[in-house]
């Protein structure tokens, strides 16, 4: 951080404020303490005829790899609205959120990834500007080795392992706990 977002000063000091326990950028001119908090990332596991919707990335990072339609939550959105919007933007799929599926923490890069199980509202899908291609995959067809992110792989694995169980639960994951 180079400038104070409150007053524009470049006199920032990185220190632990009184009563705090973490170093923050503190403006020496106006006194504003700049807190950095994790970003929310939201997406959908869209299920249609036993298959799940995946998008092949047309953007970095991980260009050419596959992901669930997922992206950063915008200010003013609920998490469900963000997941529905991202699914439209990446796969031109109109969906209805059914339930919360997984929450995955990435503490080393300050992100929380939330995936919902969703159903298609209209049958058409099409690659949006951030996707090279989009398609539905059965469990045996999923390009497991070409998945872009561990958090998406986690959501898919938990879904297919548990989809026939009558009680639906929410799965918690984190990059720190994974060994594979």
- Between CA 87 and CA 23 the distance in angstroms is 37
| Rounded least distance, CB 172 to Zn ion, Å | 38
Tokens 């933007």 sit at which residue?
89
Tokens at residue 1, please? 């951080």
Q: Which is nearer to Zn ion, 10 or 119 (CB)?
A: 10
Q: Which is nearer to Zn ion, 4 or 114 (CB)?
A: 4
- Where are any strands of DSSP class E within 3-154? 12-15, 24-27, 33-34, 39-48, 51-57, 66-67, 70-72, 95-106, 111-120, 131-137
Q: Which is nearer to Zn ion, 18 or 176 (CB)?
A: 18
Q: Which is nearer to Zn ion, 32 or 135 (CB)?
A: 32
| Rounded least distance, CB 5 to Zn ion, Å | 8
Spatial CB neighbours of 117, under 8 Å, sequence gap ≥ 6: 44, 45, 47, 97, 98, 99, 101, 159, 168
- Between CA 164 and CA 161 the distance in angstroms is 8
Query: With b meaning 16 or more CB within 10 Å and e meaning fewer, what string describes 69-101?
Result: bbbebeeebebbebbbbbbebbbbbbbebeebb
Contacts to Zn ion by CB under 5 A? 4, 6-7, 9, 27, 29-30, 32
| Rounded least distance, CB 1 to Zn ion, Å | 11
| Rounded least distance, CB 18 to Zn ion, Å | 17
Q: Which is nearer to Zn ion, 31 or 107 (CB)?
A: 31
| Rounded least distance, CB 110 to Zn ion, Å | 23
């Amino acid at each position: 951080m180079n400038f104070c977002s409150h007053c524009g000063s470049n006199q920032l000091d990185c220190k632990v404020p009184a009563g705090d326990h973490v170093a923050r950028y503190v403006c020496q001119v106006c006194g504003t303490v700049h807190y950095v908090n994790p970003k929310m990332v939201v997406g959908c596991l869209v299920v249609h005829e036993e298959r799940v919707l995946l998008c092949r990335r047309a953007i970095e990072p991980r260009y050419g790899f596959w992901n669930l339609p997922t992206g950063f939550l915008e200010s003013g959105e609920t998490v469900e609205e963000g997941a529905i919007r991202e699914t439209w933007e990446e796969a031109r799929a109109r969906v209805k959120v059914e339930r919360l599926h997984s929450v995955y923490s990435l503490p080393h890069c300050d992100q929380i990834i939330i995936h919902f199980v969703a159903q298609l509202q209209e049958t058409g899908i099409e690659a949006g500007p951030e996707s090279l291609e989009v398609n539905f995959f059965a469990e045996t067809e999923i390009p497991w080795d070409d998945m872009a992110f561990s958090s998406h792989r986690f959501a898919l694995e938990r879904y297919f392992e548990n989809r026939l169980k009558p009680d639906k639960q929410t799965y918690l994951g984190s990059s720190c706990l994974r060994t594979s």
